Chain A
Amino acid sequence: MHSLEHIVGTVLVLFGLFVIGYYLVINGGYFILHILALFELRDDVRESRWDPPFRKFASPFYPGIGIVVPAYNEEATIVESVRSMLTLNYPELEVVVVNDGSTDATIERLIENFDLEAVDAEIPFDVPSEEIHEVYRSTTFEDLIVVDKDNGGKSDALNTGIWMTEMPLFCAVDSDTVIDRDALLTLVKPFLEEPTTAVASGGVIRVANECTIEDGMVKEVTLPKTGLPGLQVMEYLRAFYSGRLGLNRINGLILISGAFGLFQTEAVREIGGYRHDTITEDFDIVVRLHRHLKETDREYTVDFVPEPVAWTEVPTTRRVLGRQRRRWYRGMVETVVTHWRMLFNPKYGRVGKVVMPFFVAAEVLGPLIEGLGYILLPLAWYFGFLNIEFFIVFFLLTTGLGVFLSWFGVFSEVWSFNRYDSPWQVLRLLWYGVLENFGYRQWKTFVAWYGLVEYIRGDTTWGVMERTGFSTEDD
């Protein structure tokens, strides 16, 4: 009995020391990322506030962009979404809607509203997707192509669009994403300034819940009043303004949100498009681009533009959010396992040596270690190995630092684009930064463990996102 107690004690003490060391390294890393992000944001904000005196629409130097919109059972919203995309401010635009075997009237709505006619000629090149039934062209909108195909999932639909567009750049967008009118002009900047090396760029995705949307545009930005979407606003701000911006400073961006990202069409075709057998295709595609371009020894950049460009609805219930986060976690593990050879591999430059290992330590292992801590703590207390005073001080310090890093994201938002322009909203955001540490954060560790179990079991389900719809002025 004595020796069992000794073993348990040793394990607990070693685990405690490991957690303290781990905590110092990860938070040190986050702190450095935040500092890098501030420098990056300062430069980007200065640049975004300078509007050079030339007429953008008269300039012939904007490369053509094909917006690829996968649509599955979107009959209620597809017409408005497509209309909104056709009116985006960009000189050379093509919208490719891919009806991914919808079982509702999505294709009929599109045919009726955009005067579509089927193209008789066969497609003269191979498209790596499920069978395509028809390609439609509009007799009223020159820039619209609609493809009707068998259901093959989001990646399959995206690949169809990527192979069908003839534009040098393509923009992957969810059909329910609300895009700012000038979003493409913003997102294309890296491709204009680095025409031979830019392969992808992503912007800031914001939470649209409770914002007022009119004619496909966000008219009024409101912070969600309920806790769960509000907490996600806080998370999005932290992720975009700190994580991605900091990684961009060292050309180490490994994730561009699937809701809205711009890619060099040829580069994505070269790697075979999006993978069908992954549930987080947006993460996988960026990692594969890094991998492929490094392996072929090409100079390239993957850029992040910190201006808010697109808006998306986030889950409002714990059940749906849990399902979404479990899927994200499974996808993250899957992508890391698929590309494990990149870890600590100098062949992949900074991405392999620093970014991927840090990402795995912080995002993949972080919640698991934290979750394990919540189980071991009561054990340590039971066996008398827990110094309660030390634990309380340590918990308060880690929470304090976590809050500080979250507030850093809020400060970045206020300092830069200030879309939540009321101080009351900002105060609430700061409150969410505190609140998330009590219950929400612990719940996320449980979700991560659950996601890991699902991954081990081979679960590949997507789950359904239940949407409540956007507010309009009439509401």
Chain B
Amino acid sequence: MPDVTAFGYVVPIVIILVAVALVVGLSLAVSFYLTISLSVYRSVKETRRNRVRPALRDELLSRLFAESPDWNTWAEELSRTERVVVEELLDEHLRELDGRDADKLRELGDALGIPEREGRRLENGHEYARLNALTWLTLLRRPEPYLMSSFEPETARERAAAVTLLQTTNKLSNTEAAVSMLLDGTNDQFTVFGQDTLYRVSRGNAAPLIQTASDRWDQWPEPLLVQVLAVCAHLETSVSTESLEWLTAALETEHAAIRAAAADALGSFGWRASLRDQMFLERATNDPSPHVRAAVYNMLASWGDEQALTVLLFALVEETDPRALTLGTTALVRRRERIDTDAAAVLGNAWDWSYEHAEYDQIARTGSAEALRG
């Protein structure tokens, strides 16, 4: 075989091939060893856990429903594997149970020393270790390790998990504090958990979120703004008229996704005098995007008063996009008992289609279409 010359050195190709073969061979040996070792380790661990799980589940449930569960004695008797399985069962049941049973189970968490351990993880672990720690403390309703630690939530996930812990343990000083924890100093978009957390804390008192959004909506990146608007769309609570100016402004931004989300949000806040402005409604119902127009039709149907429905009906008559028209008539059918006009005659096929589908929805839900027919 020939030699290879590089950088003034002559190396026999055999040497190169042997070196490459050694690297490949070593890589193969290492990956084989790692894969099999990991598989054996996980299999042994899982087999041991599966073996003890049924008995531990029975024991846990019988102690849970006994007069005195005596968790401490039981926890002391558990082997390492059994403790892991009991923790898994505890996690599973705490997510399903409420009330006194859940409270009783939480004492098992104390007996297993979970709050202390998770408190330490909050200080030392990586992000997911900290998230799991906050989750355990939430499930156990034990905020103390978090409150006593020096840990400050940084990422969007951590902020949501910390707010959830404080909210479920009634340690939130007020909604402002929660909204501030979730939204101050960050432009990161939420996970669905974060979005849901913002929704849960704002449900009782929407004002702090509306105020924050009103101040900062035009600085937020598009995904975050759309997420906040989606939260607003589900709040269904009353706020002052002036707080909604940012929403009407959002309905006129250049991004269709924001305009549609703003229309959804406006739908949840009801029909207000400031929005009766004819020019505003004309612009909204003439939006260039059919997707946004469909959201505006939904908004008008959600408002549901005579004036809104009249605007909606006129807009649908003028609608040129069949998809937006169908979505609009579907929204209008929800309010059909409030309109006097013969919508079928005005809207034709789209109305018939939406109406018939609404009937089938009703039949499937209740077994009868009577309610819809009125």
Contact yes or no, B24 A411, CB < 8 A? no
| Shortest CB distance B332–A (Å) | 13
Cβ-defined contact, A411 with B40, below 8 A: no
From 353 to 402 in chain A, residues with beta carbon under 8 angstroms from any chain B beta carbon are 387, 389-390, 393-394, 396-397, 400-401
Closest to B255 in A: A196
Query: Chain A contacts of B322 at CB under 8 A?
Result: 124-126
Q: Does A421 contact B (CB under 8 A)?
A: yes
Q: A390's contact among B1, B138, B330, by CB below 8 Å, is which? A: B1
**Is A396 a contact partner of B189 (Cβ separation < 8 A)?**
no
Q: Is the CB of B356 within 8 A of A119?
A: yes
Q: When chains A and B are docked, how far (Å) is the Cα of A189 from the Cα of B191?
A: 8
CB contacts (< 8 Å) of B128 on chain A: these are 46-47, 49-50
Residues in B with CB closer than 8 Å to A125 are 322-323, 325-326
Residue contact A124 to B43, C-beta cutoff 8 Å: no
Interfacial chain A residues near B135, Cβ < 8 Å = 50-53
Is B291 on the interface with A (CB-CB < 8 A)?
yes
Q: Which chain B residue has the least Cβ–Cβ distance from A123?
A: B353
Given A139-B363, A142-B364, A194-B189, CB of A400 within 8 Å of CB of B25:
yes
A430 touches B35 (CB 8 A): yes
Contact among B24, B32, B38, B348 for A397, CB-based, below 8 A: B24
Interchain nearest-CB distance for B224 vs A (Å) = 9
B226 x A196 contact (CB < 8 A): yes
Q: Which residues of B contact A403 (CB under 8 A)?
A: 28
CA distance A414 to B157 in the complex (A): 27
Contacts of A53 in B (CB 8 A): 95, 135, 138-139, 161, 164, 168
Flag if A408 contacts B31 (CB, 8 Å). yes
Q: Are B360 and A139 in contact (CB under 8 A)?
A: yes
Name B227's contact: one of A189, A195, A394 (CB within 8 Å): A195
Contact of B20 among A123, A397, A421 (CB under 8 A): A397
One digit per residue, 1 when the CB lies within 8 angstroms of any chain A CB and 0 when it does not, for chain B 154-169 equals 0001001100100010
Closest-by-CB residue of A relative to B132 is A50
Q: Tell me the smallest distance from the CB of A404 to a CB of chain B, in Å.
A: 5
Contact A400 B36 (CB under 8 A): no
CA distance A188 to B355 in the complex (A): 30
Give the residues in chain B near A117, CB-CB below 8 Å: 360
B355 / chain A contacts, CB cutoff of 8 Å:
121
CB of B223 within 8 A of CB of A196, answer yes
Cβ-defined contact, A396 with B195, below 8 A: no
Contact partners of A390 in chain B: CB under 8 A:
1, 13, 17
Tell whether B11 is near chain A: CB-to-CB under 8 Å.
Answer: no
* Interchain CB contact under 8 A, B28 and A423: no
Within 8 A of A (CB), among B323-344: 323, 325-327, 329-330
- In the complex, A401 Cα to B131 Cα: how many Å? 39
Q: Which chain A residue has the least Cβ–Cβ distance from B257? A: A196
When A and B form their complex, what is the total count of cross-chain residue pairs whose Cβ atoms lie within 8 Å? Answer: 175
The reply to whether the CB of A438 lies closer than 8 angstroms to some CB of chain B is no
Asked if B280 lies at the interface with its beta carbon under 8 angstroms from chain A, I say: no
> A138 to B230, Cβ gap below 8 A?
no
B21 within 8 A of A: yes
Q: Kindly state whether residue B196 has any CB partner on chain A within 8 Å.
A: yes
**Is B360 touching A119 in the complex (CB atoms < 8 A)?**
yes
B138 (CB) vs chain A CBs: closest residue? A53
Contact A411 B38 (CB under 8 A): yes
CB contact between B46 and one of A62, A197, A400, A421 (< 8 Å): that residue: A421
CA distance A418 to B257 in the complex (A): 39
CB-CB nearest in chain A for B360? A137
| Residue in chain B with minimal CB distance to A47 | B128
Q: A134 contacts the other chain (Cβ, under 8 Å)? A: no
A 167-192 contacts with B by CB, 8 A: 189, 192
Is B197's beta carbon under 8 Å from chain A?
yes
The count of chain A contact residues (Cβ–Cβ below 8 Å) is 61
Residues in A with CB closer than 8 Å to B190 are 193
Q: Which residues of A, 399-429, contact B by the 8 Å Cβ criterion? A: 400-401, 403-404, 407-408, 410-411, 414-415, 418, 421-423, 426-427
Q: Which residues of A contact B25 (CB under 8 A)?
A: 400
Contact with A along B5-27 (1 / 0, CB 8 A): 00000000100010011001101
Establish whether residues A193 and B46, one from each chain, have CB atoms under 8 Å apart when the complex forms: no
In the complex, whether B39 has a CB less than 8 A from a CB of chain A is yes
**Of listed B36, B157, B360, residue having the most chain A CB within 10 A:** B360
**Which residue of A47, A60, A400 is within 8 Å of B24 (Cβ)?**
A400
Asked if residues A54 and B164 are in contact (CB atoms below 8 Å), the reply is yes
Taking CB as reference atom, which chain B residue is nearest A53?
B138
Contacts of B365 in A (CB 8 A): 142
B326 touches A60 (CB 8 A): no
B191 vs chain A, min Cβ distance (A): 6
- Flag whether B83 is at the interface (Cβ < 8 A): no
A87: Cβ under 8 A from any B Cβ: no
Contact A121:B352 (CB < 8 A) given known A389-B1, A393-B21, A397-B20: yes
Is B122 on the interface with A (CB-CB < 8 A)? Answer: no
CA distance in complex: A421, B47 (Å)? 10
Q: Which residue of B lies closest to A51 (CB)?
A: B135
Q: When the two chains form their complex, are residues B360 and A138 in contact, meaning their CB atoms are under 8 A apart?
A: yes
Q: Is the CB of B234 within 8 A of A60?
A: yes
**Chain A positions within 8 Å of B164 at CB level:** 52-54
Counting chain B CB atoms within 10 Å of each CB, which of A53, A125, A189, A410 scores highest?
Answer: A53
For residue B274, CB closer than 8 A to chain A, the reply is no
Rounded to whole Å, the gap between the CB of A327 and the closest CB of chain B is 33
- 14 further A-B contacts with Cβ under 8 Å, apart from A119-B357, A124-B326, A137-B356, are A51-B91, A52-B164, A59-B199, A61-B195, A124-B352, A125-B322, A138-B360, A142-B364, A193-B191, A195-B230, A195-B257, A196-B226, A196-B255, A414-B35
Could you tell me which B residues sit within 8 Å of A by CB distance? 1, 13, 17, 20-21, 24-25, 27-28, 31-32, 34-36, 38-40, 42-43, 46, 91, 95, 128, 131-132, 135, 138-139, 157, 160-161, 164, 168, 189-193, 195-197, 199-200, 222-223, 226-227, 230-231, 234, 255, 257, 291, 322-323, 325-327, 329-330, 348-350, 352-353, 355-357, 360-361, 363-365
Chain A to chain B contacts (Cβ below 8 Å), 22 pairs: A47-B128, A51-B91, A53-B161, A120-B352, A121-B353, A124-B329, A141-B364, A142-B364, A166-B327, A166-B330, A193-B190, A195-B257, A387-B1, A396-B21, A400-B25, A401-B24, A403-B28, A407-B31, A411-B31, A421-B42, A422-B39, A427-B36
